[in-house]
Amino acid sequence: MNEAILVEDLAVRYADFHRGHRSGHFAGNDVYQQTRDQCMAMLFEAVGNHHGVSTGQVRNALVYRLASVDLFVLGVFVAFYIVVVNAIVQWMFHSVPSDQPWLRSVATTFAACGGGAGGLVLFGLYFATFEMIRIGNTHMSYRGGRGPWNQHQSELLLGGIILFALVAAYRHARDRAESRESQAIEHRGLSPHRTCSSR
């Protein structure tokens, strides 16, 4: 797989250098793609001959990915997203008392939709950066569309909204518990028994 990715990147770099927009020899996208594909076909054939496999098998290796790596990348972003969402919810709930759950629900609904959409955009940028580092080339070209998450945009958006709502529900439950505890302490401190005993 690593060799397939390497030779694919070499073909892209070759086409960029000889027929790219900044090469001084750009003659249109068709010529650029033809140059890239011809170079790639020769390199794939060389790799296939070296390993005793077909060119098609070398090309198919490009779409193979380690699920554990992709899940780790997603997990890191989810952890970051939760930290950011928690800060947003704390700031938002600071202005809305815990004894007004309906108002908090309305605020959370709008914020969750915005947070989910913003999280989706940030995740796209984050994953694109990871892919550039993994491949070693900032010119992703058509390779940017091979990411496993491009086919799951709706699920990612929904997941971001649900995660935002769960964090908000957790913060609201904590605020309610702290409010009840504070009221209980005040009640015990102002009880008639304690008031008379303190005299």
- What is the DSSP-derived secondary structure letter of residue 146? G
Torsion of CA 97, 103, 104, 110, to 10 degrees: -140
Write down the pLDDT at residue 117.
98
Reported confidence tier of residue 199, pLDDT bands at 50, 70, 90: very low
| Per-residue pLDDT at 195 exceeds 50 | no
Reported confidence tier of residue 191, pLDDT bands at 50, 70, 90: low
Which residues have C-beta within 8 Å of that of residue 99, sequence separation ≥ 6? Answer: 179
* Average pLDDT of the chain, as a whole number: 88
Write down the pLDDT at residue 4.
87
Query: pTM value?
Result: 0.76
| Per-residue pLDDT at 123 exceeds 60 | yes
